Chains A and B, each alone.
Chain A
């Protein structure tokens, strides 16, 4: 099956800093989503982005499907950005979202 690797695995930022999270996948995908799992365990949809670039406030994402990666940018980070960020992909041959390994982000004052 498809392999989905995220980097870095852990990240500590001071409030106000910017960061880039990466998601690499081993096969062609039809769909890619980014999620934020907050410290209470809730999964929050950030982006549905099979290709191209999208922006939502301080967050933006870019997927380059032909090169099999996606990037999530967080600007001017806030403590509420803390948690785990997952990317998840659909392939044409599988009927499910396969999750990446996650990036654990901690934003400190």
Chain B
């Protein structure tokens, strides 16, 4: 029973490039959340998606960041024109029913912008 799968585990991008982070939720889970963790800090909510819908994107920066969770395939967090300040660990979580059931996290993608 595979858990939440994120890839890649580590990603290095030059300033100005695009970063694509992928998240496959646990089997049977249709709710996906993305969080960002800056070095030595806690996890900050970015976006909550259900299949094909963005439910809450209140934590997403207004520019350069986007997320999707298509009917088929993993959820994607996309960062365009990356800057050094985007360097962080990005975690994905999934749950069966938000608020009523346990959420599980993937191992994260560590993005380094050089």
What residues of chain A have their CB less than 8 Å away from a CB belonging to chain B? 30-31, 33, 35, 41-43, 45, 48, 86, 88, 90, 92, 94-102
Contacts and interface: CB of A to CB of B under 8 A. Distances in A.
Contacts of A95: 48, 55-56, 98-99
Given A43-B105, A86-B42, A95-B48, A30 B89 contact: no
Interface in B16-42: 33, 35, 42
B103 interface: yes
17 contacts: A30-B99, A33-B102, A41-B89, A41-B107, A41-B110, A42-B108, A43-B91, A43-B105, A45-B102, A86-B43, A95-B99, A96-B59, A96-B98, A99-B35, A99-B43, A99-B45, A101-B42
Interface residues of B, number: 24
Interface in B42-89: 42-45, 48, 55-56, 59, 89
B107 A42 contact: yes
A30 B99 CA distance: 6
B102 A48 contact: yes
Nearest to B31: A95
A41 B108 contact: yes
Given A33-B102, A45-B102, A96 B110 contact: no
Contacts of A31: 99-100
A33 B103 contact: yes
Nearest to B55: A95
A97 B42 contact: no
B111 interface: no
B56 to A, nearest CB: 5
A88 B95 CA distance: 14
**Residue with the highest number of chain A CB atoms closer than 10 Å, among B43, B91, B110:** B43
Contacts of A99: 35, 42-45
A1 B91 CA distance: 21
**Residue with the highest number of chain B CB atoms closer than 10 Å, among A30, A43, A101:** A43
Ranked nearest first, the 7 interchain pairs of A and B with the lowest CB-CB distance are A48-B102, A43-B105, A90-B99, A99-B43, A30-B99, A96-B45, A95-B56
